[in-house]
Amino acid sequence: MAAPESSTDGIRLNRFLASCGIASRRKCETLITDGRIMVNGKICKKLATRIRPGDKVHADGVPLKTQEALTILLFKPAHVICSAGDTHGRRTIFDLLSPKLQQANLHHVGRLDHESEGLIVMTNSGDLSHQITHPRHKIEKEYFVRINRPFQEEIHSRKLLEGIETPEGFAKAVSVVQISHRQLSVVLQQGLKRQIRHMFSALEYEVTQLVRTRIGNLSDEELKPGKFRYLKESDIARILAPPKNPASQTKR
């Protein structure tokens, strides 16, 4: 993680915007270069601009202020979508939150598809979202995978580890451990759309159950589907820390 910036020097504009919860740092840079940010009454397109105490910042005319960081860990049930709303009237992860949290400007970090279940981080910190999702940080995510027929480990473990071309791009696993004939633990560092389902489909398997059981070094076997808990700084540190033992697996 980057060293903290001193209050006298201020913080970079994109980081300030992310701390207000409006977007990730990368998306905040786009807001700046598009001329949608004003600092002290003037449009600011300079990414190197630093915000100091007393500066007034607006995004699309709306005044901004930093907010207290709030992060939760949610167990998403199957058949619930990762979205703030759905045109088809399906249940969303925001429907699982308390009224207070529904007003807390939370967003989900990454996503799980409609059929999948398991752990997902929700936060109002664009900075934290960036750290978890950016490829250079290589945050591991572990999944319990159940398939429709016995797994041919000797042939297909190697293919999953070496990588497979999918509709979303070249996808590979970091670790594949067979639990039983039709159950596996799979660890990814990528986050391609429906990645595990596409990888197994390419090998002519159908994924019948997919559960995310770990993000970084953080797992929670006590958290039940549809429930959430607040994350402490120590929990967030476990997410961002390098893997203690990349070969170790969490079975659910």
Residues catalogued as catalytic: 113
DSSP string of 86-114? Answer: -TT---BGGGGS-HHHHTTT-EEES---T
Cα 62–68–74 angle (5° rounding)? 105
* C-alpha count within 13 angstroms, C-beta hemisphere, residue 67: 20
CB 141 within 8 A of CB 213: no
CB 173 within 8 A of CB 188: yes
211-to-27, 176, 224 alpha-carbon distances in Å:
29, 15, 12
Q: What is the DSSP letter of 25?
A: H
Q: Chain-centre distance of CA 136, in angstroms?
A: 14
Q: Please name the residues in contact with 202: beta carbons below 8 A apart, sequence gap of 6 or more.
A: 164, 165, 166
In terms of DSSP bridges, do strands 183-188 and 42-43 run parallel, antiparallel, or are they unpaired? unpaired
Q: In this structure, what are the phi and psi dihedrals at residue 199, rounded to the nearest 5 degrees?
A: -65, -45
CA distance linking residue 175 with residue 246, whole number of Å: 8
CB 215 within 8 A of CB 139: yes
CA distance linking residue 191 with residue 193, whole number of Å: 7
